[in-house]
Amino acid sequence: MAHDATTAGDDLTPGIKGIAADWAGDRETFHVPWGKAMMWIFLLSDTFIFTCFLTGYMNVRASTRVAWPNPSEVFALEVGGTPVPLLLIAIMTFVLITSSGTMALAVNMGYRGDRAKTAALMFVTAAFGAIFVGMQAFEWTKLIVEEGIRPWGNPLGAPQFGSFFFMITGFHGAHVSIGVIYLAVVALKVLRGDYERRGYEIVEITGLYWHFVDLVWVFIFAFFYLW
Amino acid sequence: MAEGKQQHPLQVYFWIWGLLFVLSFFSYLVDILGFESYVRWSLIILFMLLKAGFIVAIFMHMAWERLALIYAIIGPPVVLLLLIGLMAVEGDYTESTRVDFFGADQTVFLGHGEAAEH
């Protein structure tokens, strides 16, 4: 009972080195470039953050004493005098999907070693991202200035509407903004030829982050704007 | 490093790109056509999951990764979706506690000061 087979045979290095040796053990779990595995794990942790928001939001949405403002009307845009429901949000959705497509092509061009096309497609992706953030700034301004929506209340209905709207779209907008910078930096380095020796996995890793931003928007679009 | 390198025909991306546009349009249509209640929610979730699935599987190349990575990354979010669903269902209970504390009068709730005195 004192020494079972699993521990008896192991030679243990004392201290920190022993911990490192036990955890490493010369085994690799994910057979992908380490940067890609790390990005996936980061994205998974980010998923938990957005899930916190959506979980809280769905519970509050179903439990407010005052009716939730109708997003279809709140986010309508006037075109020629008639309000079109969710128009800006629909355009933002299409902008983000377009950027996802150009990003996927950039990854493909990266592995082909076509530096000019890769960088160009990444810059286009970043530009669409910037357009998205710009439209979000417009939307925030409209809601704050014209509709009088605040994190603690609003004239349209449930006071919780503002806090969830600003927190969820704000966090997503921050992710898009960071993504635009990230894309621009990597694109410049691609153009300069920094990855000629190391290979172009970095483009795919950057792409993972960008697709994740699009992915989060899919859930926000469904749960917040359409619900 | 040949391992983990994802190279696929461009056609695949163009197809999925188009499909994402169509699916987005469909989910937008759910709002325009004014579906309500359970029909609306089911359609929203259906299109949402389809879009998310295609982005993860094709654009993020998950379909071509090893099962060890797929399960490690996809497993937790599936459980999280369940949590979101559960908390939405629990909304009824949360509302009933609001009624207990603030009373059935909706205007009392808006005045934070008066409500706090209960």
**Residue B34: what pLDDT?**
85
Interchain pair B48, A111: CB under 8 A? no
How far apart, in whole angstroms, are the C-alpha atoms of residue B107 and residue B103?
Answer: 10
Q: Is residue A187 part of a domain?
A: yes
Query: Of all helices (H) and strands (E), which one includes residue A210?
Result: helix A201-220
Residue A218: give its domain's CATH number.
1.20.120.80
Q: Which of residues 20-79 of B touch A (CB under 8 A)?
A: 20-21, 24, 27-28, 30-32, 40-41, 44-45, 47-48, 51-52, 55-56, 58-61, 65-66, 68-69, 72-73, 76-77
Structural domain for A208, as ranges: 33-226
How far apart, in whole angstroms, are the C-alpha atoms of residue A2 and residue A15?
Answer: 23
In the predicted structure, residue B102 carries a pLDDT above the cut 90: no
Q: Residue ranges of the alpha helices (H) in A113-159? A: 115-141
Q: Is residue A15 part of a domain?
A: no
How high is the mean pLDDT of chain B? 84
In the predicted structure, residue B82 carries a pLDDT above the cut 50: yes
Instruction: Tell whether A33 is within 8 A of chain B (Cβ).
Output: yes
Q: Is residue A127 part of a domain?
A: yes
What's the predicted TM-score (pTM) here? 0.87
**Residue B113: what pLDDT?**
43
Would you kindly state where each structural domain of chain B is located, as residue ranges? Answer: 8-64, 66-118
Predicted complex ipTM: 0.85
Residue A203: other Cβ atoms inside 10 A: 26
The residue among A126, A142, A22 whose CA lies nearest residue A78 is A142
* B114 band by pLDDT with thresholds 50, 70 and 90: very low
Query: Of all helices (H) and strands (E), which one includes residue B76?
Result: helix B67-89
Which chain B residue has its CA at the smallest distance from A37's CA?
Answer: B69
Please give the average per-residue pLDDT across B56-83, as a whole number: 93
**Residue A14: what pLDDT?**
84
Length of chain A: 227
How far apart, in whole angstroms, are the C-alpha atoms of residue B81 and residue A73?
Answer: 27
**CB contacts, 8 Å: A211 with chain B:** 55-56, 59-60
Report how far apart the first and last C-alpha atoms of chain A are (Å, whole number): 59
Q: Do A164 and A208 contact (CB within 8 A), yes or no?
A: no
Taking 50 as the pLDDT cut, the residues of chain A under it are 1-5, 8-9
Domain count, chain A: 1
Report how far apart the first and last C-alpha atoms of chain B are (Å, whole number): 67
Which residue has 């301004």 as its token pair?
Answer: A141
How far apart, in whole angstroms, are the C-alpha atoms of residue A61 and residue A164?
Answer: 10
Q: What angle do CA A64, A65, A67 make, to 5 degrees?
A: 75
* B75 band by pLDDT with thresholds 50, 70 and 90: very high
**Residue A29: what pLDDT?**
79
* B57 band by pLDDT with thresholds 50, 70 and 90: very high
The token pair at B91 is 């909304």
Residue A27, SS3? coil
Q: Residue A77's beta-bridge partner residues?
A: A84
Please give the average per-residue pLDDT across B6-29, as a whole number: 92
Q: Is residue A25 part of a domain?
A: no
**Residue B109: what pLDDT?**
53
Please give the average per-residue pLDDT across B63-67, as a whole number: 91
Q: Is residue A124 part of a domain?
A: yes
The token pair at A172 is 């997503």
Q: Is residue A192 part of a domain?
A: yes
Q: Is residue A221 part of a domain?
A: yes
Q: Is residue A174 part of a domain?
A: yes
**CB contacts, 8 Å: B56 with chain A:** 211, 215
